[in-house]
Amino acid sequence: MTLRISAKRGFTHRWAASKRASNSCRGQSTLVSPRGKRSPRALPNLTLEGRNRQSGSGSEGQGRRETRGGEDRKGVVRLETLTPQGRWLMDKRSVHFLYEVGLLAQIQRSGLAFLGFGRQSVAEHSFRMAHVALILAHWHPEKVDEAKLLRLCLFHDVPEVRTGDHHYVNRRYVTERLADVLLDLEQDTPYGRDLSEWVLEFEKGDSPEAQLARDADQLEMLLFLKEQRDKGYEVPELWIRACRQRLLTKTAQALAEVILTTRFDEWWQHRWGETREFRP
């Protein structure tokens, strides 16, 4: 298999493949750094299917792959593999983004500082929020696009991996520059433009899916507050009332009633716990 490294200026949206390749070699390559300096670097250790296949094995041309690479202005190596079936493109920026969103599990919900107890990461919030949204969609009288609903829930807080989570007092003094974050994410992720649209749709709250997603956002917070109350903490009624007042749909209001009348541990106590014999 022939390996080639090519320098490419910039990149096109949706990861369009570069048509130009240069600096062909087998053992050593020259990559262009972000500062424009050329430095010799060994080829990356690729683990692609068919990497060690010989061109003469099997029928002529079958199983052969040609891998190209390059580096954009940000110094990120691209790997492109051409196969008889078509073009396959992978980019290190995809992996960089996967590591980046993992930080959402470390970013804490800042508003809980005013509550005085309890901890929850942004990732934990988004995960349960998606489940709340699906339950709302199940009981909602109108048909909604569940796939879109899940995307709005899972991605609405992704910009916080770069801005952090700001509570109401922070927002009075700090500008998050959401537009700049979304613009950068469009360049840094293979679905960046879609991600921007999902975030903006959630923020506007106009579509049926966005309204249910925003309701799921509040209901997930309500679940958290109810858990803390059942554990013995004195949750201010103001917090619970605020969550309920922000609900947009009757479906969410009905679910809120059930949440507030159900203990957080009832799901297992009544089936397997010591109180199972008292189950009505």
DSSP label at 44?
P
Percent of the chain with pLDDT over 70: 65
Which CB contacts under 8 angstroms, 24+ apart, belong to 126-132? 126/153, 126/154, 126/156, 126/157, 128/220, 128/223, 129/153, 129/213, 129/216, 129/217, 129/219, 129/220, 130/154, 130/216, 132/216, 132/219, 132/220, 132/223, 132/255
pLDDT value, residue 53: 37
Two tokens at 198? 């999902």
pLDDT for res 67: 45
Look at residue 69 and give its three-state secondary structure. Answer: strand
What is the mean predicted confidence (pLDDT) over 249-275?
A: 91
| Pair 114, 166: CB distance under 8 Å | no
Chain-centroid distance of CA 280 in Å reads: 42
Residues 102-122 as b/e (b if ≥16 CB within 10 A, e otherwise) read eebeebbbbbbeeeeeeebbb
Evaluate if pTM is beyond 0.75.
no
The interaxial angle of helices 250-260 and 208-230, nearest 10 deg, is 10
Tens of pLDDT, residues 152-180: 999 999 999 999 999 889 888 988 899 99
SS3 42: strand
Return the sign of the alpha-carbon dihedral for residues 38, 41, 43, 45: negative
Confidence of residue 94 (pLDDT cuts 50, 70, 90): confident
Minimum mean pLDDT range among 36-40, 86-90, 127-131, 195-199: 36-40
For the cut 90, the answer to whether the pLDDT of residue 214 exceeds it is yes
- 175 membership: H or E segment, kind and range: none
Q: Contact 129/153 with Cβ under 8 angstroms?
A: yes
Cα separation of 19 and 134, whole Å? 43
CATH code given to domain 106-265: 1.10.3210.10
Domain segments of the chain: what residues? 3-91, 106-265
Digit-coded pLDDT (tens) for 14-58: 333 333 333 444 343 333 334 344 344 343 333 333 333 333 444
Per-residue tokens: 94: 């995809």
